[in-house]
Amino acid sequence: MNAMKSDNKDKTVYISSPLSFLNLLFCGCKSQRIRPGDGKKRRPGRPWLSFFKTILAEFWGNSGDAYKHRRWLLISLTLLVMTATGWITVFKSSEHKAMNLMEQGKCRECLAYVENVLRENPRNKNLCKIETEAIVKDILHHGWAQQLKHGHFSEARKFLEDMTKQNSDLPERLKTVRLLNWIAEIEEYFFERSPGTPIVIFQDEIRTESLLTQWDREKNDIRCLLNQIGKENTELPPDRIYRCLERLQAQKRLYSGVIQDFKTTIDKMLDTDRPSALMLTINEFKRKFPAIGGLEALNEDLANYMRLREKINSEQWPEDPGVPDNLCFQTEPFVARVDTLLSTRKELRHARSTFRNNKNHTISLAKLRLSSESSKENN
């Protein structure tokens, strides 16, 4: 349709496109001529200039909206500057430098650097964590885990002792070394034991209690340390330590109460001066609990205690070829009883002091006889 006449026959509206026709219908443009191309959107000649003018009007005008826009612009710029400053600070911070040294394998240099920084700022927790990681890396790098794996526990302990001396005034490092000692002890305990090895009374339960007490007190730190060791070294898998820990806990549940009751029985029988009846009690306990060993040493201590008591209570010290001169005591209750027995005679105080200082808890009957005779001569 090229043309359309309106009510006024003198005017004619020309339609050159569908858009012009729609404008005519809905906008009521009856009195003007729609030229070709009027329905198309025109581009401004200089878009960047229009944008710049709009920005100036929005932010530097005198209206209330312009004031709000200026305020938000200032806040945004401030946040941007603060963020950039923060990233620069982190990048150049002491933590970043220490991490770089550790990642490069320079653990000793990292530890020296961290030590200097922590002397000025000991509350820097991030640096303390880096210090722990660095000292563990350094210890593992020197073959400590391999020593445990091959059963060289003396060398492993000696290495940790040297680390303790070198870092005696650095609490975080001493804490890490203490936890590593716990790992070494539990490794050594089960390295020496096969699955069928009996528990040695007066030894194993004390060692077990010590290890489990430290675990209960520092379990979170030990877990973190084991996780780091697992990432750094495959010679000491954390799963092996956890299995040993479970065996210790099961061992305590099964035998701790039984052993404690048996110790109480021994003390009661010695208090009531019935050492001869104690032998029957020991044999009965051995029959009931074959998984608990060390009872032979208890029987030997009982026999030596009865000999020693007989000699001390007698007025004379006759030489008996059937009785060994040196009596050794291996178990806790009899060591305490011998100490008490020696304290009952004034002339044996020197022997008591020697017995206390002797790690093997050995006492010589010949020296006791000489001490007694010398005391009588002086009187």
User: Per residue, what are the HEC states of 172-194?
Assistant: HHHHHHHHHHHHHHHHHHHHCCC
In a domain, 5, yes or no: yes
- pLDDT value at position 161? 94
Vertex 236: Cα angle to 230 and 240 (nearest 5)? 95
Please name every residue paired with 3 in a beta bridge, in sequence order, or none if there are none. Answer: 14
User: Both 306 and 370 in a single domain?
Assistant: yes
Q: What percent of the chain has pLDDT over 70?
A: 72
The pLDDT tens digits of the residues spanning 326-347 come to 888 999 899 998 888 888 777 7
User: Both 329 and 349 in a single domain?
Assistant: yes
In a domain, 155, yes or no: yes
User: Both 173 and 214 in a single domain?
Assistant: yes
User: Both 225 and 333 in a single domain?
Assistant: no
In the predicted model, is pLDDT for residue 12 greater than 70? Answer: no
Q: What is the mean pLDDT of the chain?
A: 78
In the predicted model, is pLDDT for residue 242 greater than 90? Answer: yes
Q: How confident is the model at residue 276 (pLDDT cuts 50, 70, 90)?
A: confident
User: Both 162 and 278 in a single domain?
Assistant: yes
Alpha helices (runs of H) in the chain, residue ranges in sequence order: 18-27, 47-60, 64-91, 94-103, 107-120, 125-141, 144-149, 153-166, 171-191, 204-232, 238-271, 275-288, 295-313, 332-342, 349-357, 365-378
Q: Is the pTM of this model over 0.75?
A: no
In a domain, 90, yes or no: no
In a domain, 20, yes or no: yes
User: Both 342 and 357 in a single domain?
Assistant: yes
- pLDDT value at position 8? 47
User: Both 192 and 279 in a single domain?
Assistant: yes
Q: What percent of the chain has pLDDT over 90?
A: 32
User: Both 349 and 235 in a single domain?
Assistant: no
User: Both 266 and 152 in a single domain?
Assistant: yes
User: Both 160 and 281 in a single domain?
Assistant: yes
In a domain, 97, yes or no: no
The pLDDT tens digits of the residues spanning 125-162 come to 888 888 888 899 999 988 999 999 999 999 999 999 99
Provide the domain count of the chain: 3
User: Both 303 and 274 in a single domain?
Assistant: no
- Domain of residue 19 covers 1-38
